[in-house]
Structure formats: C-alpha cells, structure tokens
C-alpha cells in the first residue's frame, strides 16, 4: 500500500503542479488512494520531495536530484555515546537504558532515521523499547549499538 501510494505521488507530481499537501491529498483521493495529511507528510520526506519555484512565481513539489544519504551511524553514535547507559535484547525488542530524561529524545531521533528493520519505539523517562521486525534484526541492531559505543 505504501509503495503504491508513493508511486502515485511521484506520478502526480510529474504530471501536475502540486503546491500544497492538501492538493496532493486531493489528487490521491481522485485516484482512489486514501491517506491522511500526516501520511502524506511522511511520504514527502521519504521520497525526498522538495518545493521548487515555477516560472509563474508559484511553487511545486518535485523529486530532488540531490542524493540524500544521511550519516545514520554518525547520528546514532552521538546520541548513544551521550545518553545510553546500557542496552539488551529480548527476542525482537531492544531495551535501551539512558540517562534520566533522555529516552524520548533517543527514540525521536531513531524514529526520524527511518530504520527499515525497526517497527517503532516507545520511551519512558530513562528506558526506550525498540521494536524490531524479528529477533535477528534486534540482535543485529544491538551489535551495531555495541560497535557505536566502543
């Protein structure tokens, strides 16, 4: 569903000048694709769409030519070195203990990184739960955390 919706978004912006998320949402609905504004916003980010100015002084969404390759390992290393006190794995769940008050920030940063094997996160004050797709993904992620901290 996500792949189909994102493919439709790309078709729409290639054929039509779309200036707002509302216009994009309407165009999707006309094609029989239902979505929310929040979903569209995430799709725009994941597809690396940007607004460019048209000759008429309006703006339109377009696919950026610039390749976006975030330094995920660098960002994670910084977050974890400054806040993580311990971590462990339990089947497909990674439990990360942080300094007080930092679990939410760690989860927010991880969520923004769009890690393919991570389903989601849940944060308390000093404990974060990372729900991975399977046990192997959780074990692999723990190995990555260990490498980052050493």
User: What is the pLDDT, as a whole number, of residue 72?
Assistant: 61
In terms of domains, do 144 and 79 share one?
yes
In terms of domains, do 45 and 88 share one?
no
In terms of domains, do 95 and 43 share one?
no
pLDDT tens readout for residues 16-54:
999 999 999 999 999 999 999 888 988 888 888 888 888
In terms of domains, do 104 and 144 share one?
yes
pLDDT tens readout for residues 125-145:
999 999 999 999 999 999 888
In terms of domains, do 115 and 141 share one?
yes
Whether the predicted model's global pTM rises above the 0.85 cut? no
DSSP 82-147: HHEEEEEEETTEEEEEESTT-HHHHHHHHHHTT-TTEEEEEE-SSEEEEEESSHHHHHHHHHHHHH
pLDDT tens readout for residues 56-90:
778 889 987 655 445 665 666 677 778 889 999 99
In terms of domains, do 58 and 77 share one?
no
User: What is the pLDDT, as a whole number, of residue 139?
Assistant: 95
In terms of domains, do 76 and 141 share one?
yes
Number of domains in the chain: 2
Q: Which domain holds residue 46?
A: 2-63
Read off the CATH number of the domain in which 78 is found.
3.30.1360.40
User: What is the pLDDT, as a whole number, of residue 3?
Assistant: 87
In terms of domains, do 76 and 145 share one?
yes
Phi, psi of 51, rounded to the nearest 5 degrees: -95, 130
- Report the run of H or E that residue 56 belongs to, with start and end: none
In terms of domains, do 95 and 143 share one?
yes
């Amino acid at each position: 569903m996500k792949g189909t919706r994102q493919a439709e978004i790309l078709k729409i912006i290639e054929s039509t000048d779309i200036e707002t998320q509302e216009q994009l949402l309407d165009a999707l609905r006309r094609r029989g694709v239902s979505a929310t504004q929040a979903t569209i916003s995430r799709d725009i980010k994941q597809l690396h769409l940007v607004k460019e100015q048209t000759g008429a002084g309006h703006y339109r969404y377009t696919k950026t030519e610039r390749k976006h390759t975030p330094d995920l390992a660098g960002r994670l290393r910084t977050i974890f070195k400054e806040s993580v006190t311990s971590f462990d794995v339990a089947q497909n769940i990674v439990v990360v203990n942080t300094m007080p008050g930092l679990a939410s920030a760690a989860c927010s940063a991880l969520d923004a990184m769009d890690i393919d094997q991570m389903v989601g996160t849940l944060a308390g004050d000093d404990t974060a739960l990372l729900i991975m797709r399977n046990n192997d993904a959780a074990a692999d992620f723990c190995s990555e955390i260990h490498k980052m901290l050493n």
